[in-house]
């Protein structure tokens, strides 16, 4: 499964895409999920000029790095969020990848209550239509106030459209859902098409996502579930540290390198 690994560029929040690509490449990664999140990690944007987009493509080519998804977290209950998500789908065409990743609410501080899936379905209709037209997959992350577990997002995806699947975040289900990511993953893996591989330390409600292998998540158990389900899609490594963040770029690069080394041993 090592060939399925990617780095989530949100790991390099506060640093440039060049820093992310260079650091991840030196650690051993060959694939990247690029952040296009306006209030968080905006490494690419639908507003980029042709020159800027070509520069990103050249950067990826220089480091033999392939984009496997665009992370465009948007609050889909707002017109602005839907417009941003629609525009960001164009980036999946630009970078020749299959997946557009979002949650349903704000990337942080998600407080909206979604009590009517029919309303959400209506708002997402143009996004789903565009994904169908361009042969892309909308993968909704286990995240935030409303759909924090694999079971919840699976139910949502099945209520929306076969073009909609689950991004399973192994750390978020603990933080937001208060559940361990084992039975929940097993029960939802048939609808999972994207993984955010995240470790977790501390209390369930504590923001502490260290390098893979430094936390409490049992990744042997996670990968056993994925193997038994014949999971073949991206596994995007995300390190979000603590609220204080990493002290410098060197700490980020070291965490990325140690994560890749840990996973290499685990998977081979």
Domains, the chain, ordered by start: 2-267 (3.20.20.150)
Q: How do strand 5-8 and strand 235-237 relate by DSSP bridges?
A: parallel
Max Cα-Cα span within the chain: 47
| Residue whose structure tokens are 């650690």 | 27
Residue 201: is it exposed, middle or buried by C-beta count within 10 angstroms (0-12/13-18/19+)? middle
Q: What is the pLDDT along the chain (268 residues), one digit of tens a residue?
A: 899 999 999 999 999 999 999 999 999 999 999 999 998 999 999 999 999 999 999 999 999 999 999 999 999 989 999 999 999 999 999 999 999 999 887 656 666 767 678 889 999 999 999 999 999 999 999 987 789 999 999 999 999 999 999 999 999 999 999 999 999 999 999 999 999 999 999 999 999 999 999 999 999 999 999 999 999 999 999 999 999 999 999 999 999 999 999 999 999 8
pLDDT digits (tens, 9 = 90+) for 62-78: 999 999 999 999 999 89
What pTM, to 2 d.p., does this model score? 0.96
Question: Among 188, 190, 213, 209, which Cα is nearest to 200's?
Answer: 209
């Amino acid at each position: 499964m090592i060939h399925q690994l990617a780095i989530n560029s949100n790991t390099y929040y506060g640093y440039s895409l060049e820093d992310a690509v260079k650091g991840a490449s030196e650690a051993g990664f060959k694939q990247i999920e690029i952040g296009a999140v306006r209030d968080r990690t905006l490494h690419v944007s639908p507003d980029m000029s042709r020159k800027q987009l070509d520069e990103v493509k050249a950067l990826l080519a220089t480091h033999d790095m392939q984009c496997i998804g665009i992370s465009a977290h948007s609050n889909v209950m707002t017109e602005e969020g839907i417009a941003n998500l629609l525009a960001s789908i164009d980036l999946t065409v630009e970078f020749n990848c299959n997946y557009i990743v979002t949650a349903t609410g704000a990337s942080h501080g998600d407080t909206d209550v979604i009590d009517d899936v029919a309303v959400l379905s209506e708002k997402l209709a143009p996004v789903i239509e565009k994904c169908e037209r361009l042969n892309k997959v909308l993968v909704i992350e286990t995240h935030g106030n409303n759909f924090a577990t694999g079971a919840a997002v699976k139910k949502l995806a099945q209520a929306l459209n076969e073009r909609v699947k689950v991004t399973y975040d192994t750390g978020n289900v603990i933080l937001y859902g208060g559940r361990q990511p084992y039975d929940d993953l097993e029960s939802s893996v048939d609808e999972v098409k994207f993984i955010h591989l995240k470790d977790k330390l501390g209390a369930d409600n504590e923001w502490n996502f260290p390098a893979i292998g430094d936390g409490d998540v049992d990744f042997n158990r996670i990968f056993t579930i994925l193997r038994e389900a014949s999971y073949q899609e991206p596994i995007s490594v995300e390190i979000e540290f603590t609220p204080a963040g990493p002290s410098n770029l060197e700490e980020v690069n070291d965490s990325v390198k140690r994560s890749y080394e840990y996973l290499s041993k685990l998977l081979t």
